[in-house]
Amino acid sequence: MNPDGPEITDLLIDVDPDTMQRRPVSKQAVLRALERDGMRWGARVARSLPERDGHLDEAQIDALFVRVHAEMQRLWEEFLQGDRMRQLLVPLLGALRERGHEGTVRIVDVGCGLGYLVRWLTACGDLGAGVHLVGCDYNRALIEAASRYAKDEGLSCDFRVANAFTLEEPATVFISTGVLHHFRGEGLVEFFAQQRHAAAFLHLDIKPSYLAPLGSLLFHVARMREPVSQHDGTQSAVRAHPGTRLLDAARRGAGGLEITLFDGDVEAVPILRTMLGVVGMRADLREPFVRRLGPNAARLGDGA
């Protein structure tokens, strides 16, 4: 597989980030993009995508996205992703309060998909009063499903079809899971640059290693039913960013914040830590944050 190649889902929906207007996608263009990058497995899967008059069938693609993200939600449940974020978020909220933050802390999940993280944190995060969680995604079908699930679960979080970086009420803290590797090159620097005015950000993504692609392939083939999920889950481990690249991009983009990695160490046998975090915050938050992390503070560092 090609570490610079796309995931299939990156190519299927085209939304203007300023207007949220969705543009039709030609199936031939999807196939050409995958073939150009030598993604033979991806092209084979994409050949059976539903088409109408030369374009991908939007309703069926939306339904596919909901199924693929539901499979991703199962992965996050098994990887205890909500709890991992909570372990970072609770000390950060404490640090914000200690440093005098008054009023609501707005936590915005960038690219929230079906909103698993936001819903989990709202239901089980112990985040205390004065916290408002908002999930944003360009994809209307995912946001409609996320809002429906939150209503069924009786949760007070919000979901928006919106660019997370241009909300009317800006975020105090940005969070995400499984999003970083979708941004490449200067796009990754720009991703962080758009968060430079926030108090902090916490982003979790797959931790790359020589074993991760094989582990991911076995896991996705065994546990996922959608061919698109099997392909994209494996490809995301192939192209996951190493900690050094994330640090460099975050420091170039959001240099005014103090930036470090969580679980960034390169392990000899890389099977215990499946996720890598990029943690950025205002300099004055750093000391109370590290103090409140307790033993988990040992997991911060620049990676090696």
Ligand X SMILES: C[S@@+](CC[C@H](N)C(=O)[O-])C[C@H]1O[C@@H](n2cnc3c(N)ncnc32)[C@H](O)[C@@H]1O
Q: Which residues bind ligand X (CB under 6 A)?
A: 69, 72, 76, 110-113, 116, 136-139, 163-165, 176-179, 182
CA geometry: angle at 201 spanning 170 and 294, to 5°?
Answer: 135
Closest approach of Cβ 136 to ligand X, in Å? 4
Tokens 């944050």 — which residue? 289
Closest approach of Cβ 29 to ligand X, in Å? 18
Closest approach of Cβ 125 to ligand X, in Å? 15
Instruction: Kindly report the number of other CB atoms within 10 A of residue 286's CB atom.
Output: 17
Q: Name the closest residue to ligand X (Cβ).
A: 111
The dihedral over CA atoms of 85, 88, 90, 93, expressed in degrees to the nearest 10, equals -110
Answer yes or no: are the C-beta atoms of 216 and 271 closer than 8 Å: no
Tokens 């692609």 — which residue? 213
Residue among 139 and 260 whose Cβ is closer to ligand X: 139
Residue among 29 and 167 whose Cβ is closer to ligand X: 167
Residue among 97 and 160 whose Cβ is closer to ligand X: 160
Task: Quote the tokens at residue 214.
Answer: 């094989």
Answer yes or no: are the C-beta atoms of 223 and 75 closer than 8 Å: yes
Residue among 87 and 99 whose Cβ is closer to ligand X: 87
Residue among 17 and 38 whose Cβ is closer to ligand X: 17
Please state the separation of Cα 219 from the chain's center in Å.
19
